[in-house]
Structure formats: C-alpha cells, structure tokens
Amino acid sequence: MIKAGIIGATGYTGVELLRLLAPRTDVEISVVTSRELVGSPVHKHFPNLRGHLDLNFSAPDIDALAQCDVVFYATPHGVAMDSVAELLAKDVKVIDLSADFRIKDIALWEQWYNTTHSCPELVADAVYGLPEINREAIKSAKLIAVPGCYPTAIQLGFLPLLENNLIDSDHLIADAKSGVSGAGRKAAEDFLLCEATESIRAYAVSGHRHHPEICQGLSEFNKGEVKLTFIPHLTPMIRGILATLYAPVKSGIEVTIEQLQSVFEDRYAEEPFVDVLPQGEVPATRNVKGSNKCQISVSYSEHTNMVVVLAAEDNLVKGASGQAIHNMNIMFGLDESAGLQGIALLP
Amino acid sequence: MIKAGIIGATGYTGVELLRLLAPRTDVEISVVTSRELVGSPVHKHFPNLRGHLDLNFSAPDIDALAQCDVVFYATPHGVAMDSVAELLAKDVKVIDLSADFRIKDIALWEQWYNTTHSCPELVADAVYGLPEINREAIKSAKLIAVPGCYPTAIQLGFLPLLENNLIDSDHLIADAKSGVSGAGRKAAEDFLLCEATESIRAYAVSGHRHHPEICQGLSEFNKGEVKLTFIPHLTPMIRGILATLYAPVKSGIEVTIEQLQSVFEDRYAEEPFVDVLPQGEVPATRNVKGSNKCQISVSYSEHTNMVVVLAAEDNLVKGASGQAIHNMNIMFGLDESAGLQGIALLP
Amino acid sequence: MIKAGIIGATGYTGVELLRLLAPRTDVEISVVTSRELVGSPVHKHFPNLRGHLDLNFSAPDIDALAQCDVVFYATPHGVAMDSVAELLAKDVKVIDLSADFRIKDIALWEQWYNTTHSCPELVADAVYGLPEINREAIKSAKLIAVPGCYPTAIQLGFLPLLENNLIDSDHLIADAKSGVSGAGRKAAEDFLLCEATESIRAYAVSGHRHHPEICQGLSEFNKGEVKLTFIPHLTPMIRGILATLYAPVKSGIEVTIEQLQSVFEDRYAEEPFVDVLPQGEVPATRNVKGSNKCQISVSYSEHTNMVVVLAAEDNLVKGASGQAIHNMNIMFGLDESAGLQGIALLP
Amino acid sequence: MIKAGIIGATGYTGVELLRLLAPRTDVEISVVTSRELVGSPVHKHFPNLRGHLDLNFSAPDIDALAQCDVVFYATPHGVAMDSVAELLAKDVKVIDLSADFRIKDIALWEQWYNTTHSCPELVADAVYGLPEINREAIKSAKLIAVPGCYPTAIQLGFLPLLENNLIDSDHLIADAKSGVSGAGRKAAEDFLLCEATESIRAYAVSGHRHHPEICQGLSEFNKGEVKLTFIPHLTPMIRGILATLYAPVKSGIEVTIEQLQSVFEDRYAEEPFVDVLPQGEVPATRNVKGSNKCQISVSYSEHTNMVVVLAAEDNLVKGASGQAIHNMNIMFGLDESAGLQGIALLP
C-alpha cells in the first residue's frame, strides 16, 4: 500500500488527485493539508467526495508528511521549493504539480515567476514528468516536475514533427484554448461566471509563463532553438485544452499526409494516453473530459505547405493530476494505467 | 461473465451504459444495436470510448440478443414493448430504460403515451426498478422498468415523509429542474445550444408524462391517493436534476427539524446511493455529476409549517443508466455497488 | 437635459444603468463614482461603453453630486443610508437600487441586514419603486427604493391574485431561479464559472433577505398577512429570473382559467413593461434578456385546485436598473418608456 | 419612410434584422416571409418581439416584395440567386446576407457551394458589402452581397497590414473561434446544447466555404495572391467571433509596435464600427455582444518577428445583420450609424 500525501488540496488539481486516488486499493491517502481548512472534513469542501474519503484537512507538517511514500504538491508556484528538500531528505518521493522545478534555467524561471528560487540546487535533478519523453528517468526519479497544462498538449503535438526534422522550427505557432479551471479556484473577478461565460478572449499576449517551459521542451526535441508564437485563449467552459498548432514544412522537404499520419501513429503507438485519431477525425475537448487521454490529429495542406496539428486534453487530468499519477505509477513500478482508465464523461 | 446487450445505444442513456459497463471485468458487452449505424464502430459515434470498447453497431436481431444474459433497452418509448416478450421467452433478463412498463394502469399509460400498448400482459409482472423500494422484487425479476429521471428524484424525496405519514398528501408540489440531456440526443430546435443555454423556462405545465408515474409511486408510499403539482423546468446545463419539493405538515401533527432529519437518515441509512446531507448543507447537481448518488436535504419552517426537500441526481446515471445497472447488479446477485462507485466529476 | 449621477458604478447594476442612459439625448451622465477607480476612464472598466461614454470615475463627492438632478445609488446595502439625506437636502432626487429604504419596519431591516440603520427618519418617506403599484407616489417622490430582483417578479406574479382575493394567502410558494449576475460582480469563490456553471442549487433555504421585502408587498395587496415559502436557486446563466409561483385557490372560491387569464390581462393592460402571455405560452428568461419586460403566464389545474404563475424578467433590467430608470422617467414627467424600449437579445 | 421586406426571417440573422429594424422610425418592416410559418405572428416565433412588431409571416411573393424599397435575404445559400433578378427589375434594392453573390469567380463559387449558379450575370454587378472597403460602390449599388461572419473579422484584421505591404502574404494564418449561432437555427445534432457546450473543437479543417471569400478580399488588398491557412473552431457560446491572426513581417522590412498601432488607428480613424483598442488591451467577444462594433488589437514580437492581430465581433451583427443594415443606411443616404448605436450587453 502506497501512502500518499497531498499538500494544498483545496484547489482543482487537489480535488482531481483525490477523485483519482480515492478509489484505488493500492494507494492510501494519508494526509491532505490546507492551512485554511485545518480540522474540516475534506468532503465538506468537496461534496463529490462524500462517502469516498473520510479524512480531515490537516496543517502542513513535515513529520506527518514524512510518513508518506509520496507527496504531491498541488500548490501555487513558490511553495514547493521551500519544503521539498526536507521531504526528499526523509526519503519521500515528491511529485510537484506546480512550476517550481520545471525550468532548468534558474534565471529564466526567476524572471518569469518574479521570485528568487529558494531551492535551485534541486532543479537539475528534478525530472520533467512528461512520460512520453522521460519514462526512463521518471522510473528512478525522486522529484518530479509535472508539466503545465498547455506545455503538455503543445509538446505532444509538435514532438513527432520536430523529432523527425520535418518542420521549420523558426515559425511555430500554438493557438491554445483553455477552459477556465486552468486559472484555479481562487476568487478573482476575471473568472466569475458572469465575466467568463459567453465570451472568448486571448490573454497574456505579450508572454505567458508556459512559453519558456514549452520552448525548453521543443528545443530538446529539435536539438536546437525554436521560435514559437504562443497565444492562449480563455474559453467559456470548465475543463479542456485544445491546442491548434501551425508548422510550416521545412524548406526542401516534401511530405504527404499519409507520411505525417504514420509519423504520429508510430511515435505514440505504445503510449497509453496519447490517442492519434484516424485521418479525417478531429479532437474535441468533450471527448477527453475527465480522462487522462490526449487526442491528436494531424492534417496538411499542399497549397500552403502547412501542417496543422490539433491536440485536446483535459487540463486537470492529462494536463495536471492524471499526469501526476501517471508519474507515480511509473516511479513505483505499477501498471502505468492504474487508476487512470476512467472513460471521459460524454455528454 | 455476464453477457450484456444494449438496444438503441446511440443516445445519451446508451453511451452512459457503455461508459459504466465497459470497464467492468464481470460484464461483457456483447451486442450494441442501432438500425442507423449498422457496421460502424461504436467509438466513432462516441469518441470517448476509443480504446475502451472495440465493437461495431449491429442491427437488432433477436437471435443475437438471445445469447445475452441481460438486455438493456435504451430506446424511446414504444420500442421495448414490441420485442421484450421474445427475449424473456429465451430466458434473457430485460432492463427497460424506457417508459413502456412503468405504469401499471394500462389505460393511463396509453392516454399519456398516446399509443396502444402492444404487450399489456407483461406490465403486471414488470418490476419497477427503484431499489430503495423494490429491492426484494428486483432480485427475482425478469423484466425491470427503470424509473424515469424526474420520478427517481421526486419519489426518493417524498418517500420518508409519506411512509411516516407526516405530510398533507393533498398539497404536494414538485418544482423540478433538469439539464438538457433529459431531452435525449434527437435533433430538435428547442434543444440547440442557442435556444437552451442562458435561459430557464418551465415546460409541460399542463401535464408531463412523468406525472402519472410519480403519483403511482407516491400513492403506494402514502397508502392512498396523492395530489401533486409537478412543474418541470429546462435548465441550461447538460446533466443533473434538482427537485425542490414542498410538503405542508399534516394537520394535527407536530414536527421538528431534528425529527425530520432522523426520518430521512434512518430511511436511507443502508442505501448505497442515497446520501442524506447534514442539516444546513444543500445539494447541488454538480456534486453528483457522473455519479450514481442522489443527494437529499430536508428543511422545515415553523412559520409556514412547510417541509422543503431538495434532491439532486445525475439524470443520466441515478436517473437512468446507473440505476439500470444497479438493478442488474441486484438481479445477478452481485455487489450492488459494482461499477457504480465512480466519484462525481467536480468541477 | 437631466443631469444624472451614479454612485458605485463598478458593478453590474452600474454598467446596466450606463448602458441604458448613455444613448439618451434627454439625460446627461455627469458623475460616475468609484472609490477604487478614481481617474480611470469608465470604458476601460466596461469596454462595451467604448465610444459611447467619455467620462472618468471620480471619488464620491457630495458637492459634485449635488449638481445633478438625480443620483442613482448602485451600491451594496448600507452605503446609501449614510449620504442620501445630504443629497435630498440639496434638492437632488435619489433613486436607490440597494435595499436601504425598501423595508418600512426598521427593526426588521436591521435584523435581516445585520446593521444599524443610519437614516431611519427617511424610511417612511421613501417610495417603494414598483410602478405597477406606486405610480402616483413615484411621481412626487424625492427618494425611491428600487425593489429587489426577486421581489419584482414575485410581487408582479401574485399581485392580481391577491388583489382579487382568489388565493389562500397562508400557503404561497415562490420557487425562484436566478442567473449568477444577481450575486453582483464581487470576486467570490461561489460565483466562479467553474463553481456555478453546469449546476443548479438552492441557497438561503433558511431565509433570504428578499423574503421580508416580498412579504411586505404581498401583505399590502392582500390587506392582511401572508405566509410565503420562498426558495431561491442559483441557475447557470448570466441574466434572468424565473419565478414559479404556486397558490392554492381560496377555499369556497371557484375559478376558471379563462377568468384567471382575464384577471391578469386586465390588471396589466396599461402597463408598458408587464406582458401577460396568451394561454398556453410560457415565459423563458431569454425572451426578456436585456429588456425591461416582465413576461407572465398563468395556469390552473382543477385536479389540484392550484394556480401556477410563471414570471420571467431580466434581473439587471426590470429587476434593477431598468426599473430604476422607469422610476426616473415617472419622477421627471417623461414618457415612461423613454430609453427602455430595447428589444431583448435573442438568441 | 423606407419599406423593408425580409425573406426567410425564421433564423438567427432574420430575428436580428427585426430586432435592429423594428425600433426605427425611418424604416417600416412591410413584409416578413416564411414558407413554413405563413399566417403566424412573427412574435410567436420570436417572443422577444412581442409588443414591438405586429406582423404575420407571409409566403414569399414577388408582387408583395416589389412594394418594398429594399429586400433583405436572410436565407440559406442558393435561394437568393433564384429571385433577385425579378426584384431588381422592379427597382427594389436587394441586400443578400447569404453567400450567393459574394464570390466573383463563379466556377469557384459553384465548386465550394456544390450548386450551379442560377444567376451568374448579376455576380459582377453585386457589390461586396464591406463598408470599410467599398463605401463608394455601396452608395450606388442595387445588389449587395453582405460578407460572411468570418470574412468580416478576418479581412478587417489583415487589411491595414496588407494595404501597407508590411507582411509576408504567403504565410498568413487565421485561427477563428465562433459561437454556435454561426451554424444557424437548423435542428442538427452537432449543435445541440449537450453536444456543443463545455467543449471546443476545430471543424472544416480541410477547407471552409469562407476560405475563398476571405482570400478574394485579401488578394485585393494585397494586389496579389495570398496564402492563408484558416481554421475555424466551434466555441461553446451563442454569439461572437474572435479571429486570432498571425502574420510574419515581410522579409527586409522593419516594424515597431508603435508604427503598427498607428497603421491600424489611421486606417480605421473614420470608421464608426471598427474600434482599434489602445496598446495592451485585447478584445473579448462579450464586449461587442449585440453591437455592430468590431474591436481590434495589434501586437508584435521582435523575437519571432510575428504580428498578431485579434479581431472580435458579434457574428450576428457586424458579421451579418448589423452590417446588412449598415449597407442599407449607406445605400439610402442615411446616417451610417442609424439604428446601429446599440451598446453591447455586458455582462
């Protein structure tokens, strides 16, 4: 039985970890922390858990957390970096859903997150938890930096094209649409129903924190710098990210749609959570709502010589908590799909 | 291994049966029929099932269906009554999600459904599949009439009050709010997003088909006729029913809120899918989205001497497909909760 | 030219006043106050006003406001009562959209609003601004208390029945459904899109502040106390209130639907903003979105002897800002419909 | 008084024409046709028009329509082309909201619309009704082809860049997001609330009918062919289009954001319905809901040398019926803004 702790479990990634872990017979949720809600039953805050989890929130306490085999940080950025070292020292594996350990270039991280990194020494050892790329490293990792929601969809969409050297990496575009849950559960005017429903808008047009994270990954696949225009959009729905990716075919290369389709199908043939759709089908976020799947389609226009990739995921599952648990499964040598086989809720 | 067939599985109760049954290791989905989609993969119609169900739609065929242990009808009313007898004759258990066998008074059924009943001889033997009432009868039933979505919530809400003879059964009111999926997947103008979102309206004010079904049940609990005003409302959301029930305390009786709370808690103490909330908490449909739970609260005002009960369910789960499977579990002597422990998707 | 000031114009009733007043040629918006946004252009906060209103927010200042002919308070309760007297002393007419002057019984107000009333001496003179009841008093009023959103729909729905002595006033029920804008623009977790969309729930089941306001009005129409059960519901949409009203016919009285229909049609025949629908049609909130209309239908069941009234309005227009302007039109002797003829936005 | 007729007024562009025209004192709606609803009051079909329009649907009849000064076709493509010639022969001005006369290359039109054009001789004379381009021609036009919803936003967004020769017209991308009302009011499964809400997806990835229309316009501005990748997305909301446009700066050219901002502001300085936002602000579709405005922002990244333009409009107003009326105003020498000054409904 794996003992799991969750720090900061009052937000949407927290409740999603609980939804996915509570039914498991091989994992015991031992500790769920929240400074604000100490002593209150978790199911009072999340009534969907009534009858499924009988536990109170506790204050974050290193000794209590040290009894766990694995601790998830479902906290805002800037929290994990202050206590991860202590937990690792006590042989607890750590899976951080925040951004604290995602970016290897510490100066770059500090610039985008506008904070001094309090634990730079662990950044190099942290494994970026995208299983489709880093499965081997994850197996032996002590500290996982779970990828952001946008970076997951966008990297999975560009990956086969860059690995196969097919596209002009100086002119990549990611037009991404996210549900409002990506903003978390904090009470902010912009995310009120009356502000966010029945409307779509772009945001962070001059630069989004996921941009350096995405570029770090794409550059690795590309074995060289990439230039990416990334425009995120707030979409009037709860869950889901759809990334529409535009990539011009590299000069001097000829591609066919059959070839592109094969490149994607081959790359992801063994991946349990990446589903390459047949030619002519396109993903919709509703097809993956509540599931850990990323659905991907690829298309190509000869006239413009442009490849268009569509990647859909549930931002709270494959884009956060499901992927975190996928990492846990790999770290503990379990069936990778354990607890992650839930079928999307449609409609 | 129980072999299951599903007739008419192209609508929302169909896909919900598939979502709930596909992961089970003790049930095999053998046949999924649709006249329109013969030969087409089920997951092409329902992309959430990609990777979870590898089966094509077939034409409804009694011989093929007769190989099943149990057959679910996820059809519009008026279909099941034409072929159920043949399946029963071949020792197949039948669980009908439509209205064909719900109402014992055949003339009444024919009046509301505006059709001649083609199989009246089976109506008396059909068991009304509300486990909280008919558990014993379900165990040995051959033919189950799964309750309608509104009737489930409304009956569960009034039941403890009527059984305990606490309320004035001549003045019952059920103000019910349903998500749009209650109308099914048929292409009708009224249920287009642009017609149904960002608005709420009552409908069927002069009479809804679920009225006689509800009254049949309430009268049984009451051991005498009831008078019920039932107004359903179309609510701008996909899933969920919230029933707000108003019941004046019977003349000459005194009640306290503590007593009412106990009456509800006691009645449902052993029920796996009815969750009586603590005093002061009220249900929301989001708390049960995708789950088989019905959440109920009770409150009382001395000033008006009125009991108000709130009952929330997912109309496609506890109000349809989940309840159907609950019946199957009971009929086959399985753990009642098998396959129905999924936690609601929140947010 | 009427000079108008708006205090606290950063919320939804504020922007709605601006939307309705800005196009008028007989009204000049002179002052728009907000403590937080002093100096900032109003259209920066409300981008729908770009090109329609060229004014900055200013700090609330009695001297500046005293230059106005009329001042609207679009503030939370407890603000208007502190400064209304000063404005009245300077011969400014005041239209208060908050609750400060709605309830004549000051002790009752203080109990529900949990505050000491700082200006009780003006409460008696304040006119309750429901034009369908108080048109004459409004004409000469100095201070208007604009009715709340629920009270408007519920009073208009019960009014003809009570005035005509047709219903049992001891057993009235108002099951009301409101869009989320009723909660205002304040950043509160409950009203985040991810909390409020795709769900419906009751709230304030043990008592809502609009209850005493509604009962005050109904008792007047009834010439005697009424007993009302009032359950409000948070509905997943921006705008709109639908009130479903249940009223048993008074013992000893016989009614027909034709008679009830006439009672409503006659009562509202001359009212520009109450639209009694033909028998068989029912209102939907989408039909009045953005308009100052209240649509009402009445139905009757002989079997239960129950009258059911449905009343739909836009909570921000007829339920707040539109009604406030209707009052202004009457106070200044203008055409009552001036600036309020906008047709609902459908779809 | 201008007499106006509307053919096929049962869809969303039809009701929007009626909403915008009914309040006008200089226009009389004389004829509203619908084959299906002959004899039925228009306000029964569109209850928002109750009290604002007292007219019944009539059958399309050339003689009756010939009494009008102007006739709007709010019909599906393929209808207008069959009767426009007759109306023009009777000196009626025609404003066609469908696609029949938008594309000058008749073979291209026939290929995309999969129909033989029945009136090719009028195509050359029809004026493409984008006032920001064709104001002079509109003044004397007899037949207007109102631009499509996507083409309006996308052309207005690229126009200043192409006219000023600033961007590489071989690598244009338009990622467009539309509300569901763009699909019209026809009962189709894909646009049911339960299918379209809480999800986003791309569609027509292999080619959308608006592509040739957009390219026709862009090529004119560019004085040479353009290559455009255009991916439309179905967005879970009723109204609104947001076009996110990506344009690489032309090789050899240097731009600054100040210069780009000026290019947009100068181009649209005199345009009543194009609103260039200040640097740093971005449009949202809610800011223009129900209004005839198109809000545009421009941004530029030195790192990628990419210009990103965002253009938001209400697809039913500036993208259809509002623009149609703008054309009418110009054709009849009226104030261009007459009847189109309505402020967007926010929230």
pLDDT in tens, B235-263: 999 999 999 999 999 999 999 999 999 99
Residues of A in contact with C180 (CB under 8 A): 192-194
Q: Which of residues 237-276 of A touch C (CB under 8 A)?
A: 238
Question: What pLDDT was estimated at residue D189?
Answer: 96
Asked whether D347 and A194 are in contact (CB, 8 A), the reply is yes
pLDDT of residue C327: 98
Instruction: Give the residue from chain D lying closest to A181, CA to CA.
Output: D198
Q: Which of C12, C187, C196 sits opposite A188 (nearest CB)?
A: C187
What are the backbone angles phi and psi of residue C332, rounded to the nearest 5°?
-100, 10
Tokens of C211: 């209850």
Instruction: For chain A, give percent helix, strand, coil, nearest 5.
Output: 35, 20, 45
Alpha-carbon distance of C243 to C284, in angstroms, equals: 10
Percent share of chain D, pLDDT over 70: 100
How many CB atoms within 10 Å of residue B63? 8
**What pLDDT digit, counting tens, does each position of B133-162 carry?**
999 999 999 999 999 999 999 999 999 999
Chains near D with 3+ CB pairs less than 8 A apart are A, B, C
Answer whether A173 touches D (CB < 8 Å). yes
Place of tokens 């353009």: D226
C227 at interface of D, judged by CB pairs closer than 8 A: no
Domain-wise residue ranges, chain D: 2-125, 150-315
- Which residue of chain A is at minimal alpha-carbon distance from C12? A194
Out of B229, B246, B287, whose CB is closest to C308?
B229
B308 has a chain C CB within 8 A of its CB: yes
Measured between CA atoms, how close is B232 to chain D, in angstroms? 18
Residue A47 DSSP SS3 = helix
Q: Which CATH number fits domain C150-315: 3.30.360.10, 3.30.365.10, 3.40.640.10, 2.102.10.10?
A: 3.30.360.10
Q: Is the dihedral of CA B133, B135, B140, B143 positive or negative?
A: positive
Give pLDDT, residue B2. Answer: 98
Q: Cα(D39)–Cα(D45) distance, rounded to whole angstroms?
A: 12
Q: Under DSSP, is residue C94 helix (H, G, I), strand (E, B) or coil?
A: strand
Within 10 A of A69 (CB to CB), how many other CB atoms are there? 18
- The nearest alpha carbon in chain C to A12 belongs to C194
Contacting residues of D for B186, CB less than 8 Å apart: 189
User: Are B346 and A46 inside 8 Å of each other by CB?
Assistant: yes
**Residue C175 to residue B244, Cβ atoms within 8 A:** yes
Q: Which residue has the tokens 């479990």?
A: A9
A344 near D CB under 8 A: no
Contact list in A for residue B46 (CB cut-off 8 A) is 346
Look at D192 and B197 and tell me if their CB atoms are within 8 Å.
Answer: no
| Fold match, B2-125 / B150-315 | no
Scanning D180-199 for CB atoms below 8 A from C yields 181, 198
Residues of chain B with Cβ-Cβ distance to D238 below 8 Å are 193-194, 197-198
Parallel, antiparallel, or unpaired for β B228-234 and B172-178?
A: parallel
Catalytic: C149?
A: yes
- Which pLDDT score, from 0 to 100, does residue A276 have? 98
pLDDT reported for residue C199: 98
B192, B193, B198: best to mutate for the C interface, most C CBs within 10 A: B198
Spell out a b/e string for A74-95, using b for 16 or more CB atoms within 10 Å of the CB, else e. Answer: bbebbbbbebbeebbeeebbbb
Amino acid at B267: R
**Average pLDDT over all residues of chain D:** 97
Q: Is-contact A174 A250, C-beta < 8 A?
A: no
Q: What integer best gives the mean pLDDT of chain B?
A: 97
Mean pLDDT in order along chain C per 10 residues (347 residues): 96 98 98 96 97 97 97 97 98 98 98 97 98 98 98 98 98 98 95 98 97 98 98 98 98 97 98 98 98 98 97 98 98 98 97
Report the pLDDT value the prediction gives residue A261, as an integer from 0 to 100.
98
CB D194, CB A267: distance < 8 Å: no
pLDDT of residue A110: 98
CB contact at 8 A, B133 and B272: no
pLDDT of residue C284: 98
Q: Which of C117, C135, C138, C31 is nearest to C74 (CA)?
A: C31
Residue A103's φ and ψ, nearest 5 degrees, are -105, 125
Contacts of D202 in chain A (CB under 8 A): 242, 244, 282, 310
The reported pLDDT for the residue numbered B149 is: 98
- The β-bridge relationship of strands B27-33 and B93-96 is unpaired
Which chain C residue's Cα is nearest to B241?
A: C200
CB contact under 8 A, D193 and B185: no
Q: Give me the helix-helix angle, B257-267 and B149-163, nearest 10°.
A: 120
Q: Are C236 and A187 a contacting pair at CB < 8 A?
A: no
Q: What residues of chain D, 9 to 38, have a C-beta less than 8 Å from chain B?
A: 12
Instruction: Compare CB distances from C246 to B173, B198, B239 and report the shortest one's residue.
Output: B173
D226 pLDDT band (50/70/90 cuts)?
very high
The rounded Cα B112 to chain-centroid distance in angstroms is: 18
Q: Closest to A299 (Cβ–Cβ): which among D177, D205, D238?
A: D205
CA distance D264 to chain A (A): 18
Q: What is the amino acid identity at position C277?
A: L
Segment B67-111, tens digit of pLDDT: 999 999 999 999 999 999 999 999 999 999 999 999 999 999 999
Let me know the angle formed at the C-alpha of B179 by B174 and B184, rounded to the nearest 5 degrees: 110
Q: B198, C238: Cβ pair inside 8 Å?
A: yes
| Chain A residues close to D297, C-beta within 8 Å | 205
| Interchain contact, C188 vs A193, CB within 8 Å | no
- Cα–Cα distance between D169 and D161 in angstroms, integer? 10
The minimal CB distance from B189 to the residues D185, D189, D238 is found for D185
* CB-CB neighbors (< 8 A) of A277 in chain B: 50
Q: Rounded to whole angstroms, how far apart are CA atoms C275 and C288?
A: 10
| Of B68, B119, B149, B215, catalytic | B149
Max CA pair span of chain B: 65
- Where does the pLDDT of residue D211 fall: very low under 50, low under 70, confident under 90, or very high at 90 and above? very high
Distance CA B145, CA B126 (A): 6
Residues of C in contact with A196 (CB under 8 A): 193
**Helical H runs in chain A?**
12-21, 42-45, 62-66, 84-89, 106-113, 131-139, 149-163, 193-196, 210-222, 257-267, 322-331
Placement of tokens 């986003």 in the chain: D200
Q: Hey, what are B110's tokens?
A: 């024919």
Q: Which A residues, 35 through 64, put their C-beta within 8 Å of a C-beta on chain B?
A: 44, 46-52
The 10s digit of each residue's pLDDT in A176-201 is 999 999 999 999 999 999 999 999 99
CB D37 within 8 A of CB D10: yes
**Position D245 confidence tier, pLDDT thresholds 50, 70, 90:** very high
DSSP C319: I
How is domain D2-125 classified at the architecture level of CATH?
Answer: 3-Layer(aba) Sandwich (3.40)
Q: pLDDT per residue over B185-207, tens digit each?
A: 999 999 999 999 999 999 999 99
Amino acid at D340: L
B residues 126..155 contacting A (CB < 8 A): none
Q: Which two tokens stand for residue C192?
A: 């985040």
| Interface contact flag, A185 C181, Cβ < 8 Å | no
pLDDT computed for residue C94 by the predictor: 98
Contact D197 B197 (CB under 8 A): yes
Overall average pLDDT of the B225-229 stretch: 98
Distance from CA of B104 to the nearest CA of C (A): 21
Distance of CA B329 to the CA centre of its chain: 16
